[in-house]
Amino acid sequence: MEGAGAPGAAAQPGRKPPAQMAAATALSSRRGLAAARRARPLRALGRVPARPAARERVRVRDGAARAAARASAYLLFARLFRREVSPDLAPMLADLPELGDALPSPFDVEAAAAEHHRLFALQVPPYAGVFQDPEGRIGGAPATVVRGLYARAGLEVDERSEEADHIAHALTLLAELGERPKLAAEALDRALLGWLPWLVETVERHGSPFHRVLAELTLDLAVDHRAELPALPPPPASTEPLDDPLADERAGLARIAEWLVTPARSGLYLAREDMRRLAAGEALPTGFGGRADSLETLLRAGAELGGLERVLEGLGALVESGRAHCAALERVGVPALAPVVALRRERLERTAGVLERLRAAVTPA
């Protein structure tokens, strides 16, 4: 499916592709995505039509324009999550105020590729499974959900480059569902909104200015889109129990570390850079291997060399950051986000209790 910024989409010299022009329209103001979903007052369209049928035609045309702009924005964002900004795309982004202003100047394609790899390959893989799978694995149940939604839309996921739960696949699907509001609502609820706010929070900590703006605009687009769509029964509640890594007195640091780095269990996403920052204050090692291995090394070094209490305080600060993001989402007032926020709050409160018990165990009486 070709779209804004899709591979092979060539632009004529001096002209933006139509899809890019539509995306530029959708992003033309500070809150361009929110504006794109609101119908313009009829007085802004010139003379108010006298006949109801004429008014309806105006609404239909305006709604179609908004839908086209939204679809183009979804495709553009999918492209930007999938790959770095390319030389041909950089001039086009300059016409999209928020994204263009966040691009470094002068633009360096090699630096853009390195930053995209650093963020989305090494720090924050943009896959639903990372945030929603009980083991933090890419693929699995979240990927199955996306494949099922594609099949119901009469489409097939192209998984040659990324598993089905990559954010680009959800965004590409939503671009195709402009005339199927119920399926679009289900796709947002089941394939994106359950984990996108979490991804945005993590990108805010670790991303470049460009990627922070990209993540924020993607959430704006999804939330504004969902507000237009019909209400659906809430997704099935998670059946994953709120397990306690300290319930077994014999649980070691490996078990605790594995639990803490699994978002579906702890409510936290700990990137490698988070652990480096936690270690830096006490000059502690984080070792090599996966995120769980790095955190285990950090906790063990803190316990043996001193500094564990400071590490636990740093983890507590990340819990507080998660609580603040939950509060911000609650203020948005989108019903589809309510179960997402409630589930994450539950996990964060459990993690706060685990950290408090660990602090009590290492603090002298």
Collapsing DSSP to helix, strand or coil, 27 comes out as: coil
Average pLDDT over residues 2-10: 38
pLDDT reading at 17 higher than 60: no
pLDDT tens digit sequence for 28-60: 433 444 443 333 222 222 222 333 444 344 444
The 10s digit of each residue's pLDDT in 263-315 is 999 999 999 999 999 999 889 999 888 999 999 999 999 999 999 999 999 99
3-state secondary structure of 313: helix
Helix ranges (DSSP H) in 239-306: 253-260, 263-266, 272-280, 291-305
Assign 331 to helix, strand or coil: helix
pLDDT over threshold 90, residue 13: no
pLDDT band at 118 (very low <50, low <70, confident <90, very high): very high
Give the global pTM: 0.83
Residue 345: beta bridge partners? none
The Cα–Cα gap between 144 and 133 comes to 12
- Say whether 141 sits in a helix, a strand or coil: helix
Distance CA 60, CA 65 (A): 9
Nearest to 72 by CA among 159, 178, 166: 178
pLDDT tens string 55-78 = 344 444 577 888 999 999 999 999
Least confident of 38-52, 84-98, 117-131, 314-328: 38-52
